[in-house]
């Protein structure tokens, strides 16, 4: 299978997961600094204080990207580096770092895909109420404007938010992510204000001349166990209702307001919309980024208990998939879920192109003789890139594929024990070793074919 000529190939990372240097050059503190230093929140008490030391090693890392033929690099800007208190004056030294990074990427002929928010909210804004507090949306748009003022002459691809479902419902609902609150109502408010912040920022970026504006969501096809084994399996009426409701909360709660200007009826975020909000939220965007790891497997279950990560969900149970191979995260490997998802999103929102902005897998890796033979990751990537090819053949409008992640890094509440990189990082020496999957991916990119 050959991919379209202008198909974008790349890799993704996020600021708190790789940069380190959490107290340098005037950077303020984020909710992840606070959360990771709170006992019991992150496995082994890991923090992002050093991470991959990318803040100091970015030039070498860009050389590495170049050697892997990457055409695009998706990274995020740390809001507290740019605005240590979350509002007001800009910390020029913080922006200097991204300025250097962008120049280095452009010199290497790699397109910067800049994400404004990948979960590191300035702690002072959380202290004022965080995303459940409406003002945060306005602060986000001001910050977006400040970053664009500095980098808009060179960065063409702008993402407002990464995975607002996760920020809202894991950050404020289940509390497994920062800031670790467990309040379903606050989570629903956060979801609406994240969307409002997205719309305000998208409007401000557009007014400033930006063209490639994207929202990145964590999406998944919602399916029954039987459909995982056989995509054409029949689904009972009760299961179909469970699927529809789950999908409305996971995907449509975010894409319908942005792309269609309305919330699905079931969305708890809708309760917090004021007059005029949906016009702001539905500011035109250019692409939707889809992060896919595994399907969401459900069944109707009238007595299922309420889940704080899923306000609005009733009568649905989540299932695991015994017998299906899984990654080190325990996430089942279901490549056909990605084709299903891309085809479905392209049909539901035909005016907006898609990009796979994250896909990848954690496995136990070992360096031996300067090599990492990560056959399982290589197979995962091959099968999922194949699924993208299938989706293209079925008419889905997919513009590119970015692997998660370039480097092993700080995997949030899982700390450093989960390795998602196509490049191995030895955290004691900061040595980088491209894994076999990276070398394979380099050749896929060179040939633009599988």
172 near ligand FCB, rule: CB under 6 A: no
Instruction: Compute the Cα dihedral for 13, 15, 17, 21 and give only its sign.
Output: positive
> Site for ligand FCB (CB under 6 A): which residue of 30, 91, 218, 437?
218
Instruction: Copy the structure tokens of residue 70.
Output: 């990457």
> Site for ligand FCB (CB under 6 A): which residue of 358, 365, 376, 408?
358
132 Cβ partners below 8 Å, 6+ apart? 172, 183, 186, 187, 189, 190, 193
Instruction: Copy the structure tokens of residue 356.
Output: 């796979």
> Do 251 and 219 contact (CB within 8 A), yes or no?
yes
State the minimum distance, in angstroms, from the CB of residue 357 to ligand FCB: 9
411 near ligand FCB, rule: CB under 6 A: yes
State the minimum distance, in angstroms, from the CB of residue 404 to ligand FCB: 5
404 near ligand FCB, rule: CB under 6 A: yes
State the minimum distance, in angstroms, from the CB of residue 208 to ligand FCB: 26
Which of residues 195 and 216 has its CB atom nearest to ligand FCB in the complex? 216
Distance (Å, whole) CA 393 – CA 339:
10
72-76 and 431-434: which strand pairing?
unpaired
- Clarify whether 163 is annotated catalytic: yes
16 near ligand FCB, rule: CB under 6 A: no
Paired with 287 in beta bridges are: 214, 353
> Do 296 and 217 contact (CB within 8 A), yes or no?
no
State the minimum distance, in angstroms, from the CB of residue 397 to ligand FCB: 22
420 near ligand FCB, rule: CB under 6 A: yes
- Compute how many other C-beta atoms are within 10 angstroms of the C-beta atom of residue 322: 8
- Kindly write down the DSSP assignment for every residue of 180-223, as one continuous string: ----HHHHHHHHHHHHHHHHHHHHHHHHTT--EEEEEEE---EE
What x/- string results for residues 271 through 300 when contact with ligand FCB is judged by CB under 6 A? --------------------x---------
How many CA atoms does the CB half-sphere of 187 hold within 13 Å?
Answer: 29
412 near ligand FCB, rule: CB under 6 A: yes
Which of residues 329 and 379 has its CB atom nearest to ligand FCB in the complex? 329
C-alpha dihedral (59, 62, 66, 72), degrees to nearest 10: -150
120 near ligand FCB, rule: CB under 6 A: no
**For residue 3, what is the DSSP state?**
P
Which of residues 139 and 419 has its CB atom nearest to ligand FCB in the complex? 419
Which of residues 270 and 422 has its CB atom nearest to ligand FCB in the complex? 422
Which of residues 15 and 246 has its CB atom nearest to ligand FCB in the complex? 15
> Do 388 and 400 contact (CB within 8 A), yes or no?
no
Paired with 214 in beta bridges are: 159, 287
239 near ligand FCB, rule: CB under 6 A: no
Instruction: Copy the structure tokens of residue 307.
Output: 């889940």
Q: How far is C-alpha 12 from the chain's CA centre? A: 9
Which of residues 280 and 328 has its CB atom nearest to ligand FCB in the complex? 328
Specify the stretch interacting with ligand FCB by CB under 6 A; choose among 133-141, 271-279, 404-412, 430-438.
404-412
- Compute how many other C-beta atoms are within 10 angstroms of the C-beta atom of residue 82: 26
382 Cβ partners below 8 Å, 6+ apart? 440, 450
Catalytic residue chosen out of the listed positions 19, 157, 163, 376: 163
Distance (Å, whole) CA 148 – CA 308:
36
Distance (Å, whole) CA 108 – CA 66:
6
Backbone Cα Rg of the chain: 20
Catalytic residue chosen out of the listed positions 19, 126, 157, 358: 358
242 near ligand FCB, rule: CB under 6 A: no
> Site for ligand FCB (CB under 6 A): which residue of 14, 42, 214, 242?
14
Q: Count residues contacting ligand FCB (CB under 6 A)?
A: 12
Task: Please list every residue from 152 through 171 that binds ligand FCB, using CB under 6 A.
Answer: 162-163, 166
Which of residues 280 and 438 has its CB atom nearest to ligand FCB in the complex? 438
Which of residues 187 and 278 has its CB atom nearest to ligand FCB in the complex? 187
- Clarify whether 358 is annotated catalytic: yes
157-162 and 212-218: which strand pairing?
parallel
Helix (H, G, I), strand (E, B) or coil at 389: helix
Query: Which residue's C-beta sits nearest to ligand FCB?
Result: 14
Task: Please list every residue from 46 through 105 that binds ligand FCB, using CB under 6 A.
Answer: none
Instruction: Compute the Cα dihedral for 195, 197, 200, 205 and give only its sign.
Output: negative
State the minimum distance, in angstroms, from the CB of residue 341 to ligand FCB: 15
List of residues contacting ligand FCB (CB under 6 A): 14, 17, 162-163, 166, 218, 291, 358, 404, 411-412, 420
Catalytic annotation, residues: 163, 358
């Amino acid at each position: 299978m050959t991919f379209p000529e202008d198909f974008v190939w790349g890799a993704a990372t996020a600021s708190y997961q790789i940069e380190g240097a959490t107290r340098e050059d005037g950077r303020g503190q984020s909710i992840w600094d606070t959360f990771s230093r709170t006992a019991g929140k992150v496995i082994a008490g890991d923090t992002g204080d050093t991470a991959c030391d990318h803040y100091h090693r970015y030039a070498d890392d860009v050389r590495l990207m170049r050697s892997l033929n990457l055409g695009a690099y998706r990274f995020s800007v740390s809001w507290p580096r740019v605005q240590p208190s979350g509002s007001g004056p800009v910390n020029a030294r913080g922006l200097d770092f991204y300025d250097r990074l962008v120049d280095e990427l452009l010199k290497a002929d790699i397109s910067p895909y800049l994400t404004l928010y990948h979960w590191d909210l300035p702690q002072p804004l959380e202290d004022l109420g965080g995303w459940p507090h409406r003002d945060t949306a306005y602060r986000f748009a001001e910050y977006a404007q400040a970053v664009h003022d500095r980098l808009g002459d060179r960065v063409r691809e702008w993402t407002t938010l990464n995975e607002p479902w996760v920020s809202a419902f894991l950050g404020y609902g289940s509390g497994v992510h920062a800031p670790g609150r467990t309040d379903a109502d606050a989570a629903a408010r956060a979801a609406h204000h994240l969307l409002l912040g997205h719309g305000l920022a998208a409007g401000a970026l557009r007014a400033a001349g930006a063209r490639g504006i994207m929202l990145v969501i964590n999406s998944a096809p919602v399916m029954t166990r039987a459909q995982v084994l056989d995509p054409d399996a029949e689904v009972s009426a009760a299961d179909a209702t469970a699927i529809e409701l789950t999908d409305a909360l996971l995907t449509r709660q975010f894409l319908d307001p942005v792309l269609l200007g309305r919330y699905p009826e079931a969305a708890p975020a809708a309760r917090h919309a004021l007059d005029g909000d949906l016009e702001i939220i539905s500011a035109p965007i250019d692409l939707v980024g889809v992060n896919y790891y595994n399907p969401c497997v459900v069944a109707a279950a009238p007595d299922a208990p309420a889940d704080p990560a899923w306000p609005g969900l009733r009568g649905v149970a989540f299932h695991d998939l015994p017998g299906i191979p899984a990654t080190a995260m325990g996430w089942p490997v279901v490549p056909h879920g990605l084709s299903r998802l891309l085809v479905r999103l392209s049909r539901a929102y035909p005016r907006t192109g898609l990009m796979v902005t994250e896909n990848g897998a954690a496995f136990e890796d070992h360096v031996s003789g300067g090599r990492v033979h990560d056959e399982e990751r290589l197979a995962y990537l091959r099968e999922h890139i194949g699924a993208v090819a299938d989706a293209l053949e079925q008419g889905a409008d997919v513009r590119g594929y970015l692997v998660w992640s370039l480097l092993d890094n700080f995997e949030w509440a899982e700390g450093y024990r989960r390795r998602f990189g196509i490049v191995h990082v030895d955290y004691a020496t900061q040595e980088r070793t491209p894994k076999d999957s990276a070398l394979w991916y380099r050749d896929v990119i060179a040939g633009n074919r599988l």
